[in-house]
Structure formats: C-alpha cells, structure tokens
Amino acid sequence: MEPNQQELYEYARKRVKQKKRVYFHFILFFVGSIFLYIINKWLNVTPEKDWYLWAITAWAFLFIMHFIKVFVTESFINKKWEQEQIDKLVARQERRISQLEKKLEKDSENTQTETDNTTTPTE
C-alpha cells in the first residue's frame, strides 16, 4: 500500500472508531438514564429528591461535548486543516528567516563600508 493510501486508511479507521465510541456512549447514556430513574423511583433511593435528573443532566452534557468533538470539531479541524496550518507556519518562519538574513547582509555591508571609510589612508 502506498504511503498516501495508508495515511488515508488510518485516518478513516480513526474516524470510524471515534464515531463508534459516540454511538456506544449514546447507548450507554440511554440505558444508564433508565437505570438511574429506576433506582431513584422504583427502588425508593431518596425518591423525594429527584437526584436522577441531575445525574442525567450532567451525563447529557458530557455526551453532548463528546458528540460536538467528534462530529463538529473533528469535521473541520482534521488532518488537512492541520497540514495547512503547518504549511502556513513554516512559510511564515521561512519569510522571517529570509528577512533576518537580508537585514544581516545589509548590516554586514554597512559595517564593511564603515570599516573601509575609516581605514582609507589620507594623503
């Protein structure tokens, strides 16, 4: 397999694994929410306080964050985006190095000119 195809395959495999985990997390959240309700209401574990709602809300928040990370964030901040950012930073660094080299050459020329002017014998 070519390196480029291998990279595409690895990226696809990673994305499938991420999506699989989100789906598993949803199923776990759904079943866990039912169990929390059953524990609170049917098994009479402090039924006067609806603590299961707080637990389900916190868990829902975590699930939503997981969902956003996989389906929203990862969809536009992916390998291609990462490579573009790296290319931009490398180009910026190369421009800065070029500017510094030009400045160094100019300073070197000015220093050389000043040295030549001070060492020229006068008649």
Is there a single domain that holds both residue 15 and residue 66?
yes
In a domain, 72, yes or no: yes
Is there a single domain that holds both residue 98 and residue 43?
no
Is there a single domain that holds both residue 2 and residue 12?
yes
Identify the CA nearest to 11 among candidates 95, 82, 89, 67: 82
Phi-psi domain of 46 (left: phi exceeds 0; alpha: psi -120 through 50; beta: other) = left
Is there a single domain that holds both residue 42 and residue 7?
yes
In a domain, 122, yes or no: no
pLDDT at 4: 81
Identify the CA nearest to 80 among candidates 5, 8, 6: 8
Is there a single domain that holds both residue 53 and residue 106?
no
pLDDT at 120: 57
Residue 81: alpha-carbon gap to chain centroid: 10
Give the CA diameter of the chain. 112
The contacts of residue 46 (CB under 8 Å, 6+ apart) are 40
Is there a single domain that holds both residue 62 and residue 27?
yes
> Domain limits at 104?
78-116
Is there a single domain that holds both residue 17 and residue 48?
yes
Is there a single domain that holds both residue 16 and residue 30?
yes
Identify the CA nearest to 15 among candidates 70, 80, 81, 69: 70
Query: What percentage of the chain reaches a pLDDT higher than 90?
Result: 50
Number of domain units in the chain: 2
In a domain, 121, yes or no: no
pLDDT at 80: 81
Is there a single domain that holds both residue 48 and residue 107?
no
| pLDDT per position as a tens digit, 36-61 | 999 888 887 777 788 999 999 999 99
pLDDT at 119: 64
Q: What is the mean pLDDT of residues 18-32?
A: 97
The contacts of residue 94 (CB under 8 Å, 6+ apart) are none
Is there a single domain that holds both residue 18 and residue 63?
yes
Is there a single domain that holds both residue 61 and residue 35?
yes
pLDDT at 122: 55
